[in-house]
Chains A and B, each alone.
Chain A
């Protein structure tokens, strides 16, 4: 039995019957990180001491048999955009390189309460701006299936860590595909929940009307367990839903007979990688065999998803990142500064990477007088049409099925000098965030020995159906159980 390949569910079963201890499991995972992460580079910070301390506490809980949750004693990692009290939180930016938050994100408090064990903080594109993890200010993360390829972004470290056995699950954050795309590229299961299902309190903001915290794990069942632990209303985030969090995992063994699965034709377009397309077609046949009813649907405004998403995202990011001014926290460059303006200019010049600079400026441009109507307002109106597309499709379908990405992981360096080409790689994931609907990516095959992801998109607050379909599929297939050789 390889401890580092256990699913959350398997680890929980073994911990509960005391076949293994959390300290044992945590130490094995820390050893795996020590031995393997020099190749992958998925962690920015490893919290060895804290992890073992939390593992000992979890073992006490397990010994007493009190207050045990499915995550008690299970080791996990956090994207470095989630604030952790007393643990450095960088957002993969130089401007926050030495920043140690004074408080926890609500999600972190919830995972602490559940008894989960924090291994460390994972690499990402700076402030979540990127699709390959190459915009990290510190280093690139490599795809565990082929080290010359990207892990995807922005939660590339999170996806690579789960794929390479460096944590049973990970918490990522998805603004336009940042959980789903790296999960697909690395062959793991990842969820972008409904906007407002999981608290954003303590999450360093990219675009506040899109940002969603979600789990990455080895299968849909584990994602369901983690979502149960982190979802729910939070008085610190007024956009969170009041609705009770369902017992997702307990209700997964339902048949998907007669489930109406819509295939949006706009997502299967010319130029799509042939291996991705055949993997998707095979997955559709598999679901049909399980009794699902497949039907073609149309989301007519899909092609506008990308400009809508990017225009609004850069506008929101531009405002959100105004807080990095070198005055209250983070890097401060005051060399020969005469006044506060000098500090702003120097700090932001030295602290932000190129992509962050581009987006802050593009956002300010889209919001500026004379361009506001043509760009920002136009995008907000088209966003309404994107949302209506989904409403229309869901009138005749229970879920939608599409590729997570039109191609598998591309090579490191391939797109980094062409920002527009990098943006275009998000084409299959960006439309769900402006609409607020949940989406789950599930491994469904390989193309050129690189994993392919199938994306299931659901109705608002209907994560349950996504988990149910994915779980039924994963009972019949073993793509999610394949491991990269490292």
Chain B
């Protein structure tokens, strides 16, 4: 049986930028193991020479003339930003001062 241990759960949580508690880590570890176990039933399927599904719609390149059109104003655009300054979204330090 495939198991996803707490160490893996913590690692994934960090990759997806999700703060989780030790208690949640425990719960998720158990739940993920049973879910992934169910998913492994796909191993029964013979997919040799079967292409990956790419797109089921009328997948064609859609091109248009590069013409300037009216768009949302900067003020309107920033209305939902938690922090903004002089017309920009403001964020805290991204890179350290190494």
Contact = CB atoms under 8 A, between A and B. Distances in A.
A382 B19 contact: no
A252 interface: no
B68 interface: no
Interface string B28-46: 1001101110110111010
Contact of A304 (B17, B41, B56): B41
A383 B52 CA distance: 8
B80 A330 contact: yes
Given A102-B76, A341-B17, A420 B35 contact: yes
A337 B59 CA distance: 44
A352 B76 CA distance: 26
Interface string B68-83: 0000100011011111
B12 A364 contact: yes
A208 B34 CA distance: 26
Nearest to B21: A349
Contacts of A349: 18-20
A387 B53 contact: yes
A16 B57 CA distance: 38
Interface string A407-435: 00000000000011001000000000011
Nearest to B18: A348
How many A residues are at the interface, by size bracket? 35 or more
A387 B56 contact: yes
A102 B79 contact: yes
Contact of A345 (B19, B59, B91): B19
Contacts of B47: 378, 381-382, 385
Interface size for chain B: under 10, 10 to 19, 20 to 34, or 35 or more residues? Answer: 35 or more
A195 B89 contact: no
3 closest Cβ pairs, A-B complex: A349-B19, A329-B80, A436-B56
B62 interface: yes
A254 interface: no
B92 A99 contact: no
A450 interface: no
Given A326-B82, A358-B32, A384-B53, 10 more contacts: A303-B41, A307-B38, A329-B81, A337-B92, A338-B93, A342-B92, A365-B8, A378-B45, A380-B53, A387-B53
Contact of B72 (A102, A209, A365): A102
Given A241-B58, A304-B42, A340-B93, A360 B16 contact: yes
16 contacts: A103-B72, A196-B58, A239-B57, A301-B45, A318-B16, A322-B16, A325-B17, A326-B82, A327-B81, A344-B17, A358-B28, A358-B31, A360-B16, A365-B4, A378-B45, A382-B50
A375 B46 CA distance: 14
Nearest to A196: B57
A346 interface: yes
Given A307-B42, A434-B53, A361 B62 contact: no
Contacts of A337: 92
B39 A307 contact: yes
B56 A364 contact: no
Contact of A340 (B28, B57, B81, B91): B91
Contacts of B59: 239
B80 A328 contact: yes
B57 A327 contact: no
Contacts of B13: 361
B64 interface: yes
B67 to A, nearest CB: 12
Interface in A451-486: 460
B61 to A, nearest CB: 8
Contacts of B91: 327, 340, 343
Contacts of B12: 361, 364-365, 368
B92 A360 contact: no
B53 A361 contact: no
B57 A436 contact: yes
B51 interface: yes
A298 interface: no
Contacts of A382: 42, 45, 47, 50
